[in-house]
Amino acid sequence: AMKEIHEAIGTENFENSQKKEEFRMDKESIKNLLEKVKLLATTSKECWKQLKDKIKQT
């Protein structure tokens, strides 16, 4: 998951607090991340719906 987050929004707004997979983000970065998560959820829901519709057609 951290790799996907890194690819989606980069690391320039992150501070690695203990050289672990624990990050601190400013409010704007959190907002941007949540917008991307919302978009991913919406997109995956639409894709799933389209797949189900295609399966029903066959």
pLDDT value for 47: 92
For the CA atoms of 49, 1, 23, 21, the dihedral, rounded to the nearest 10 degrees, stands at 160
pLDDT value for 21: 58
Whole-number Å distance between alpha carbons of 23 and 3: 13
pLDDT value for 8: 65
pLDDT block averages, 10 residues each, the chain of length 58:
65 58 75 90 91 87
Cβ contact 23:14 at 8 Å: yes
pLDDT value for 27: 86
Cβ contact 9:33 at 8 Å: yes
pLDDT value for 38: 92
SS3 at position 29: helix
What's the length of the chain? Answer: 58
Query: Residue 16 phi/psi, 5° resolution?
Result: -80, 110
